[in-house]
Every structure is written in C-alpha cells, then in structure tokens.
Amino acid sequence: MSNKSNAREGILVGCGNPLLDISAPVPLQFLEGYGMNVDDAILAEERHMPIYRELVDGYQAEYLAGGSVQNSLRIAQWILRQPNVAVFFGCVGQDDYADILREKARAAGVDAHYQVSPDTPTGTCAVLITGTHRSLCANLAAANKFTIDHLEQPANKALIDNAQYYYISGFFLTVNPPSIMRVAATANAKQRPFLMNLSAPFISQYFMEPLMAVMPYVDIIFGNEAEAHAFATAQGWPADADLREIGKRLVALPKINSERPRIAILTQGCDPVLLIQHDKVQEFPVTRLAVHEIVDTNGAGDAFVGGFLSQYVQGKSLDVCIRCGNYAAGHIIKNPGCTYSGEPEFNE
C-alpha cells in the first residue's frame, strides 16, 4: 500500500485549461453528424456549439472535472495522499461550472488559483464515448482568456518561484504562449525541471511555432504515438521514422540547458512505454486489460503523467515514475473520465 508522501506543499506548478467535461456514450452517427472521428481531440468550431446542449438533453451525460493538466494534478494528488502539493493556474468564468471545478479541485487536493473572466462562460469539453474509444471537442471559452498578468500578481508569482517542478500542456499553447515562456524561463533560471506534453496532433499541425519556441526549455516531453507522428510530419522528418527514431530526434532538438539533456517519454496504448535519453531507448511494458475491464480511455494519458509526477516530485528514479504512470493509466481506464476510485495501490 502506498503511504502518504513527504513532498512539500506547492512543489509542483501546472498551467492549463480548466474545463468541465460533459461525458456521454453516443452512437457513431453522433460523431459523424458533427464531422468528428473516433479518438479525435479538437477545438470546437461554430458548427460544434450545439453538441453540449444535445449531450445534456439527449444522452446520459455526466459532469466531470476536466482539462488535461488539472486532470494530471488531481491524479498526482490522489497518489500522493497529501493536499496542496500541486498548484494549478487557469482561467474560468463566473458561473456554476466554475464552482463545480473549484469544488472538484479542492476535493482532490489541488491548490487551484483560477483567473476569473466574468463575461465568458467556463470552458467545457464534450467527451463522446463510442465503445472503448473517446473523442474530445473542447470549447475553451473562459479558459482562452488566461493572461500573463495573473502570474504576475505577487501571491501567484511567489507560488511559481516556490515550486521545484513545472508542467504545462501543449494545449495551453493555443491560449497564452507568453505565460508558458515566463514559467519556462523561471524554471531554467532556477535550474528546475520543466515538463511539457505534445497533447494532441492538432498542436503540432497548427501551433508548431510557439511549440518550437518553448522546446529549448523542455526537460521532459511526453506524447503518445499519434502526437509524436504528427510532430515528426510537421517537422518534415522521414515519413518512415518509427517511434524510437522520432524520440531520438525529439531529445536531440536544441536545448538551452545542455547540462540537463532532454528526455522523451512516449506512450503507445497497450504497447510498451518508450523512455528515450541521449540515443538510448528503454521499454516499459504496460499491463494489458481485458476488453470488459475498459470503461473509458478518456484521461489515460493525463493519468499517466499524473502518476509519473507523483513520484518525480519525490525524487524517485525515472523507471519508478514510469511504472507509476502505467499504474495510474491502468486504473483510470477502468473508471469513467479521468476519475479514480478507492485508495491508490502503487508499490515501487
């Protein structure tokens, strides 16, 4: 049984888009009606706006606290069993959805410091479940209103200066690159690890410029196989490059602090997780689940990072961190959304 950690409060800072997930099982035709594919992760356009009301009115919809980084921090807190180790920054509206997110964050032990955009509703993400697949359609709304002056408020600046570890999603590149660069520069100046996630193929396809601006600061980059391949394509790397080759190229991209070579951690569903350091690749097997055990793959990637972070902030070795990531992802897949049940049972 894992015991309470000895990580101190505020050691980890995350920035991202706080979203309320509206999750429901739907038929494939529902996706097709909105021009969506299985396992998509997209930003809502005008044509997607009716999706949220339709889910609530016509399907068995559940409200779950979402947003990639906030998910990861909630999972890390669950495993750490000690509140307020993780601090979260993001922007919400002034509404009931924001109150739900606040309550869910507090209950999970995440120290959320939301910026509030009074005239914009809290962001939502439609989670469309088709069998064991999930498709995401995010309407960022208030999450898109985050500004760097929130990080410059003395109390928030102190929280950032006080942290030892920093984690930001690729998703946040669509919102406020200056805030990401500020946190990255702080991490670099203090010689503290800065971790980032490729998050979704569309980030590499449409937001490569801000991604490449921050990449020299990134000490650990996470991604799944689809995201890694999208990055490789956008970079013009050889089309036949496999995941190992892409990982080696990722870690070889320019880096400001060459004393701390970049590490890439690439997941591939039920196939082994790849850890790439220098030009060395290690594999970490994933426990395969029977189809009947899989409730919902939504949140598996977020949970992997959460499990990883829970050990990383305690100074554990990378192999322990990755094993805990795999444990967390396996647990979350058996639950709806990025939610957990019972006590964590990770043993090193």
Predicted pLDDT of residue 210: 97
338 has pLDDT over 60: no
| Arithmetic mean of pLDDT over the chain | 91
At how many degrees (to 10) do helices 318-333 and 300-312 cross? 150
Predicted pLDDT of residue 297: 55
Least confident piece of the model among 10-14, 56-60, 151-155, 309-313: 56-60
The model carries a pTM of 0.92
3-state secondary structure of 306: helix
Interval 101-156: pLDDT, tens: 999 899 999 999 999 999 999 999 999 998 878 899 999 999 999 999 999 999 99
- Is residue 133 in some structural domain? no
- Is residue 56 in some structural domain? no
Instruction: Give the active site residue among 40, 219, 302, 319.
Output: 302
Predicted pLDDT of residue 339: 62
- Is residue 216 in some structural domain? yes
Contact 313, 12 (CB under 8 A): yes
Which region holds residue 272: left if phi is over 0, alpha if psi is between -120 and 50, else beta? Answer: beta
Per the DSSP assignment, residues forming a β-bridge with 42 are 137
231: confidence class by pLDDT, cuts 50, 70, 90: very high
CATH value at residue 72: 3.40.1190.20
- Is residue 348 in some structural domain? no
- Is residue 168 in some structural domain? yes
Distance CA 273, CA 244 (A): 11
Predicted pLDDT of residue 133: 83
Distance CA 92, CA 13 (A): 18
- Is residue 271 in some structural domain? yes
Interval 295-319: pLDDT, tens: 555 578 899 999 999 999 999 999 9
Question: Is residue 147 within a helix (H) or strand (E), and if so which, with residue range?
Answer: none
94 has pLDDT over 90: yes
At how many degrees (to 10) do helices 96-108 and 68-80 cross? 30
217: confidence class by pLDDT, cuts 50, 70, 90: very high
- Is residue 42 in some structural domain? no
Can 296 be counted among the known catalytic residues? no
Where in the sequence is the domain holding 167, given as residue range(s)? 12-18+66-122+140-333
Number of Cβ within 10 Å of residue 116's Cβ equals 15
Q: How many domains does the chain have?
A: 1
